[in-house]
Amino acid sequence: MSSTKQVAENMLWGGRFTEGLDPVMEQYNTSLPYDRRFYAEDIAGSIAFARANMNNGVLTKDEFAAIEKGFAQIKEEWANNTFKVQPNDEDIHTANERRLSEVIGKEIGGKLHTGRSRNEQVVTDMRLWLREELRTLEGYLIQLIQTSVQRAEAEIEVLMPGYTHLQKAQPIRWSHWVLSHATAFTDELRRLREVVKRVNRSPLGCGALAGNPFNIDREAMAKELGFEGLLPNSLNAVGDRDFVFETLQWGSSFMLKLSRWAEDLIIYSSLEFGFVRLADAYSTGSSLMPQKKNADSLELIRGKSGRAFGHMAGLYVTIKGLPTTYNKDLQESVEPLIDHIKTVGDSMQIATGVLSTLKVSPEKMLAALTPEMLATEFADYLVRKGVPFREGHHISGRVVALAEDKNVPMDKLSVEDLKGIDPRLGDDVVQCLDYERAVELKNATGGTSKSAVREQIEKLKQQL
């Protein structure tokens, strides 16, 4: 008998086929190189399924005990990297069941799969694995937000330019910038926790598509595996990859926000700005120019966001035209999901490292502030004297124009120059040129004053 024919017969579906697989097709079909990481989840699901089959009379207590003991040994083999993969192990399910029959004998091992399909098995494994991975990501994200809050508290005195259109706009606190991203990350934390709830539902007991014929207790299996509920329709359960879509959507949304955070820091760390300096651990040099210190960590975060978006877009294209229930195309949901989780998790950890070790330069931030950024303060000054804002805005614009005509900064205009523009600009108008005062006046909730920043800090702490 040819080796390829032997392989076909030994596979779970091999009895129907008499000819062997094309070797290229065999490699093309296999998923074990990447789904082997689900070995613990696959074993846990198999034990829960076997226990349910013991409770409904398909297995005896002794048979279940043998299966449970056999899987304990197999799990140890995977953990110790002593599990020997065979040519007919096309996926983790086949490998585990094949090894179980070797350990406890085919007579009992052959009963494991009674009433079960790999269609439900793979999606059970994926959900179990993904649930724990997302909880790990939740921990990484909390660390990033906590690091942001700690920096905001410690460096609340530092002022810097705030930008719109990448043009200097108004003075703000460095802490306010840090918290702007922490707020966005906290929104993603809430979304992540919602995703986990929808991932954590059980498809086990749905069979290939039509359900289980042995009156299996799906609720009991779900409870044993830590699921929070059941997928209610067997057709939907085996073909559903919404939980993968939603994970990739969430990860893409988070990476988009992290990419913008990284872009700001790339700009702020450039020599032209010099607001921050990255630690050597998160920078690289140039092979040609010894003076260079490149923000490669941040550039990689920015680049890997595109990788994350690609995972999501690729899976949408793969699945959009599939008929209902299971199709082998769904195997293509596994690799991008695994890579997506690693990409997002690594990026979170790098971002936290960057933020916790970078050094700020309050002097350069302060030096970057310019009097023109205080133009709105003149309009607000007039508003406090009863002048309509639109009129005050027009007058403050004339102040800017006069400084440009004289080719001097606004703070070099004399009080007489200002009164010449409008007599309502009194001697006390010079207070409008105080950066600290301008920042502290923005004290409404969400603003950049110390009190408003501290309020944001407390809110974020509560949400964590």
Under the banding of pLDDT at 50, 70 and 90, the label for residue 5 is very low
Query: What does the alpha-carbon distance between residue 54 and residue 277 come to, in Å, rounded to a whole number?
Result: 63
Q: Is residue 395 part of a domain?
A: yes
The residue range of the domain holding 53 is 31-114
- Please identify every residue annotated as catalytic: 165, 286
Out of 269-278, 285-294, 385-394, pick the least confident. Answer: 285-294
Q: Are 119 and 208 in contact (CB under 8 A)?
A: yes
Based on the domain organization, do 284 and 408 belong to the same domain? no
pLDDT of residue 148: 98
Residue recorded with tokens 């694995």? 129
Q: What angle do CA 201, 206, 210 make, to 5 degrees?
A: 140
In eight-state DSSP terms, residue 111 is T
Based on the domain organization, do 224 and 313 belong to the same domain? yes
User: Which contacts of 69-76 are long-range, i.e. CB under 8 A and separated by 24 or more positions?
Assistant: 69/104, 70/100, 70/103, 70/104, 70/109, 71/43, 71/46, 71/47, 71/96, 71/100, 73/103, 74/43, 74/99, 74/100, 74/103, 75/39, 75/40, 75/43
Based on the domain organization, do 384 and 287 belong to the same domain? no
Average pLDDT over residues 257-279: 97
Q: Is the per-residue pLDDT at 13 higher than 50?
A: no
Q: Is the per-residue pLDDT at 387 higher than 60?
A: yes
Based on the domain organization, do 383 and 457 belong to the same domain? yes
Which of 114, 149, 178 is at the close of a domain? Answer: 114
Q: Is residue 14 part of a domain?
A: no
Based on the domain organization, do 265 and 181 belong to the same domain? yes
The total number of structural domains in the chain stands at: 3
Q: Is the per-residue pLDDT at 81 higher than 60?
A: yes
pLDDT of residue 63: 98
Phi-psi region of 57 (alpha: psi -120 to 50; beta: other; left: phi over 0): left
* Structure-block tokens of residue 267: 């700009």
Which of 61, 87, 114 is at the close of a domain? Answer: 114
pLDDT of residue 187: 97
pLDDT of residue 417: 85
Average pLDDT over the chain reads 93
CA distances from 179 to 102, 150, 172, 207, 450 (A): 57, 10, 12, 49, 12
Q: What angle do CA 397, 399, 401 make, to 5 degrees?
A: 70
| 266-296 residues labelled b (16+ CB within 10 A) or e (exposed) | bbbbeeebebbbbeeebbeeeeeeeeeeebe
Based on the domain organization, do 332 and 377 belong to the same domain? no
Which of 367, 389, 415 is at the close of a domain? Answer: 367
Out of 279-293, 344-358, 399-413, pick the least confident. Answer: 279-293
